[in-house]
């Protein structure tokens, strides 16, 4: 049932192009219009929503962090993303014009379930983004958008994460479409690029051998740091989480702009630092900033592992290892930039002799608070 792979995780990483395409299936028509009538929240309610709140845990929370950038950019509706375990204990401000999005692969995560129950009690509408048909979270929500990743067996989430991202983009773009924002042209063009993203994920998977080799060469290290900006920041957090849970290494993700506010003190000779570089096109100021950050850590002896778009030559002099990802719109980059980090963590776990599919102390779904 592992389909010829040694681990479910490897199989699930390889299934990502299909998982992503399946999650898009039937939701974009030939004219590039989104059809999400299945969520059965009347467009009027979506037009009147004045706030979006996303709740989730772990990897799903990272998808939610990325969704915030997409929703605020394309819809101009304020959006906050919060750890489900923190959410209801701070008396959040919610009412009937709040759209709450609960993201969960399993649909059974207790903290996320309790957060959505709390939101509904306050009169908010809850949309679940979920991978498991008929599970508790979608059953208790007002609406559901299913991800079509298929069953995810490995404890470390991979294909579910990519499909959660796709679902979040679909919701963000749909909100933009329904509300008619000034980003109409951009939304149209991104929908077109999203429709083809499965091929880009496939292209990344085809070039992963150097990443595996690099991972093996770092098997005896204690620490790996991850840096990103904008949507690259949650990607950095996700890369660090994968490494913790699989390789049992000290791994931390930072917003690159925070370096000078503390984390740079961790940099010493030879520490591997993975940097997720945004596209030099579009928001080029972000790119300039992160290039400075790479220089800063390298000047202090870090071993830089740079994930950058094809054709980005500016980063080349500062990268000890360069991992190329296809050109994508800035907001969609996490769909391709996360994949090398999954492969990296999986290979490091194997090299360290760890149990890849069943890491110590972890359960696939956390049904206690």
* Residue closest to 298 by CA, chosen among 325, 258, 271: 271
Q: In this complex, which beta carbon is closest to ligand M6R, that of residue 124 or of residue 167?
A: 167
Q: In this complex, which beta carbon is closest to ligand M6R, that of residue 85 or of residue 177?
A: 85
2, 51, 244, 364: the catalytic one is 364
Residues 99, 143: Cα–Cα separation, whole Å: 11
Q: In the sheet where 143-146 sits, what is the strand order?
A: 79-83, 51-56, 98-104, 125-130, 143-146
Q: In this complex, which beta carbon is closest to ligand M6R, that of residue 52 or of residue 241?
A: 241
* Residue closest to 235 by CA, chosen among 344, 310, 144, 145: 344
Parallel, antiparallel or unpaired: strands 79-83 and 51-56: parallel
Shortest CB 183 distance to ligand M6R, Å: 29
Q: In this complex, which beta carbon is closest to ligand M6R, that of residue 155 or of residue 297?
A: 155
CA-to-CA dists, residue 147 to 16, 81, 178, 314, angstroms: 12, 19, 21, 37
* Residue closest to 286 by CA, chosen among 309, 310, 316: 309
Which helix or strand (DSSP H or E) is residue 247 part of? helix 232-247
Cross-strand partners of 250: 223
Residues 348, 343: Cα–Cα separation, whole Å: 9
Is residue 31 exposed (0-12), middle (13-18) or buried (19+ Cβ within 10 Å)?
Answer: exposed
Is residue 325 exposed (0-12), middle (13-18) or buried (19+ Cβ within 10 Å)?
Answer: buried
Q: What is the DSSP letter of 28?
A: B
Shortest CB 13 distance to ligand M6R, Å: 12
CA angle (19, 162, 152) in 5-degree steps = 60
Shortest CB 205 distance to ligand M6R, Å: 19
Residues 300, 282: Cα–Cα separation, whole Å: 30
Shortest CB 277 distance to ligand M6R, Å: 24
Interacting residue ranges for ligand M6R, rule: CB under 6 A:
57-60, 104-106, 109, 112, 155-157, 241, 245, 365-366
Shortest CB 364 distance to ligand M6R, Å: 7
Shortest CB 292 distance to ligand M6R, Å: 31
Residues 295, 260: Cα–Cα separation, whole Å: 13
State which residue has the least CB distance to ligand M6R. 58
Q: In this complex, which beta carbon is closest to ligand M6R, that of residue 74 or of residue 161?
A: 161
Per DSSP, the three-state class of 130 is strand
Shortest CB 299 distance to ligand M6R, Å: 33
Clarify whether 364 is annotated catalytic: yes
Q: In this complex, which beta carbon is closest to ligand M6R, that of residue 143 or of residue 366?
A: 366
Q: In this complex, which beta carbon is closest to ligand M6R, that of residue 247 or of residue 308?
A: 247
Q: Which residues are catalytic?
A: 364
């Amino acid at each position: 049932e592992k389909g010829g792979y040694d681990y479910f995780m490897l199989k699930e990483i390889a299934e990502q192009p299909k998982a992503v395409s399946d999650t898009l299936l039937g939701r974009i028509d030939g004219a590039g219009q989104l059809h999400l009538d299945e969520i059965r929240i009347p467009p009027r309610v979506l037009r009147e929503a004045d706030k979006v709140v996303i709740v989730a845990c772990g990897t799903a929370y990272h998808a939610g962090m990325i969704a915030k950038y997409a929703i605020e950019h394309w819809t101009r509706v304020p959006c906050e993303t919060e750890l489900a375990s923190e959410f209801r204990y701070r008396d959040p401000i919610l009412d009937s014009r709040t759209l709450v999005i609960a993201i969960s692969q399993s649909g059974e995560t207790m903290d996320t379930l309790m957060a959505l129950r709390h939101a509904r009690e306050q009169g908010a509408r809850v949309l679940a983004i979920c991978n498991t048909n008929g599970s508790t979270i979608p059953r208790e929500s007002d609406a559901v958008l299913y991800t079509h990743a298929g069953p995810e067996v490995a404890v470390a989430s991979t294909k579910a994460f990519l499909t959660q991202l796709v679902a979040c983009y679909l919701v963000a773009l749909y909100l933009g479409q329904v509300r008619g924002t000034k980003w109409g042209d951009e939304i149209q063009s991104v929908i077109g690029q999203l429709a083809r993203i499965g091929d880009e994920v496939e292209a990344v998977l085809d070039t992963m051998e150097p990443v595996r080799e690099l991972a093996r060469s770092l098997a005896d290290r204690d620490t790996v740091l991850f840096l990103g900006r904008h949507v690259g920041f949650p990607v950095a957090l996700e890369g660090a989480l994968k490494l913790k849970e699989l390789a049992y290494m000290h791994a931390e993700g930072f917003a690159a702009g925070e370096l000078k506010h503390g984390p740079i003190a961790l940099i010493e000779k030879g520490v591997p630092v993975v940097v997720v570089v945004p596209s030099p096109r579009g928001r080029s100021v972000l790119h300039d900033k992160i290039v400075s950050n790479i220089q800063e850590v390298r000047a202090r002896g870090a071993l830089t592992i740079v994930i950058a778009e094809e054709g980005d030559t500016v980063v080349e002099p500062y990268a000890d290892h360069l991992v190329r990802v296809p050109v994508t719109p800035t907001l969609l980059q996490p769909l391709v930039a996360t994949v090398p980090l999954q492969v990296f963590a999986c290979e490091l776990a194997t090299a360290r002799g760890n149990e890849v599919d069943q890491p110590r102390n972890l359960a696939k779904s956390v049904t206690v608070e």
